[in-house]
Homo-oligomer: A and B are copies of this chain.
Amino acid sequence: MTAWDINPGGDNDIVISSRIRLARNILGKVMPTFMQEEQAKEVIQSIHEAILYSNSAIAHEFELIEMDKISSLERQVLVEKHLISPDLGKSKIGAVLIQQGEQVSIMINEEDHLRIQCILPGFQLNKVWEIANKIDDLLEETIPFSFHEKWGYLTACPTNIGTGMRASVMVHLPCLVLTGQINSVIQAIGKLGITIRGIYGEGTEFIGDLFQISNQITLGSSEKDIISNLHSVVKEILKRERQIRMNMKEYNPINLQDKIYRSYGILKYARILSSDECMKLLSYVRLGIDLGYIQDIDMDVINNLMTNIQTGMLQKNYNRRMDERERDYIRTQYIREKIEK
């Protein structure tokens, strides 16, 4: 059971998950980009020990996974579960500490020495911040972080300096996309220091009408202010998406129903589905459930499918490597199984 399997956060009609990521670096250590293997190992060990030998109740809940010791499939699965970034998945000196339940992961030797990350389902930014902050405090007990009195936490990339925090909310905006209004939303929120990214973070694609909305600015505001600003912007976006959903349902229900039911029909009947097409279909089915058009599937089933039909997750679930052709076929089997339940 991962954080994605249950969805107790609020605004579940649109919000998939909330996430906090804190970038930290260790005083006096070479930055990951310039590291030798030996130096990387030392950093991994010191962070692992900081957790392991801490006085915390969760000290033994973390598992260390080193990137060079796992297969590319296992790395891909970690990316798809949002436990590591695509970049860390490609790193040879990187590692990750993952807490039981997979709500907290600590990436090691990504761009920065540490990236503490907490992810929870639904709209609960304060909760994820609280958890990430505790882990940060725990590590700071023994690890000296690079910190400047005036600038705050020092990071590899200047865009992260200050709080080192990226707060983000994964939202599902099919109707903003359908009406093309998403573009004006992206432009408008840019002016508020907020940015929209693809589902695996910076530079990744928009898939299945899913978007990560996050703070662009890390410097000059407190963590609380950043979170509170992001929270209100997301609230505004939710309002707009809901308004369009209701308008379409009232004034153009047949076009909307057609899109939703077709997607459902294809999802149930297709025998070849790429993960991209699948995400598009799941997006509309998810909308159909929210609008009450589709009543025989639970929203959680769709949320889980959105994670589990991904290339790596699928192969992990079936416990074997598959080529694209087989995956696209097995994906449809998997979906039918889950939907018919």
Contact = CB atoms under 8 A, between A and B. Distances in A.
Interface in A238-277: 254-255, 257-258, 261-262, 264-272
A151 interface: no
A335 to B, nearest CB: 12
A254 B258 CA distance: 26
Contact of A265 (B254, B270, B272, B325): B270
A329 interface: yes
Copies per complex of this chain: 2
Contacts of A325: 254
Interface in A77-99: none
A253 to B, nearest CB: 9
Contact of A261 (B254, B258, B264, B271): B271
Contacts of A266: 262, 265-266, 269
A271 B256 CA distance: 9
Interface string A195-228: 0000000000000000000000000000000000
Contacts of A255: 272
Interface of A: 254-255, 257-258, 261-262, 264-272, 325, 329
7 contacts: A254-B272, A254-B329, A255-B272, A258-B270, A262-B271, A265-B268, A265-B270
Closest 5 A/B residue pairs (Cβ): A265-B269, A265-B265, A258-B271, A261-B269, A258-B272
